[in-house]
Structures are given as C-alpha cells and as structure tokens.
Amino acid sequence: MTRRARRNHAPAFKAKVALAAIKGEKTLAELAQQFDVHPNQITQWKTQLLESAADVFGAEKGSAKEANVDLKALHAKIGELTLENDFLEGALTKAGLLSAKR
C-alpha cells in the first residue's frame, strides 16, 4: 500500500470544514468522507476555530495602531527615494545620459 503525499489545505478550506463540524448537521465520519480528510484533523481545525474566534472581532483595534506606524515609515521611505531620484536625474542630465525632455 502506498502512502499518500502530504497535503496542505488552504485556510478557506479549513474554515469551511470546521464550520461544517460546528454546525453539527453531520457526524465527523460523514464530514471526513465528504471532505476527504481524517476525523482527527477536523477536530483540530474545529478547536482552532473556536479558540481564535474572539480574535476576529478584536483584531481591528490593534491593527489600526500598527498601520499608523507603518504609514510613517512608508512616508519616510518615499521622501528618501524621491531625493535619490532627483539627485540621479540631475547627475544623469549633466552627464548627457538623460534627455531633458521629461
């Protein structure tokens, strides 16, 4: 008997299976057969979903603060790159390697 290659499931698939298990309309054996995964795997995904369900509603507040920090860093980088581009444009124009028609 040959072994099946290890499969990596997409997060959307895991969520779909875990939600089906939480609904309780079918047994784990039926879900395992329907989705072609082991019943223990379904139980693990279900547990992970239940443990991290609160993070779905609370994650927005923390991510807004992080976005401000990243935004400042990005603005600084944009300014730095603009200065570099202006410098290089002037140097290449003086060297005759860049046409003045821009």
For residue 21, give the nearest of 11, 10, 32 by alpha carbon.
32
- The predicted pLDDT at position 69 comes to 62
- Residue 39 neighbours by CB under 8 Å, 6+ apart: 28, 29, 31, 32
Find how far residue 12's CA is from the centre of its chain.
12
pLDDT at res. 71? 83
pTM of the predicted model over 0.75: no
Running along the chain, 102 residues long, what does each successive block of 10 average in pLDDT?
A: 85 94 93 94 94 79 58 90 94 83 56
CA 98-99-102 angle, 5° bins: 110
- The secondary structure of residue 23, as a DSSP letter, is H
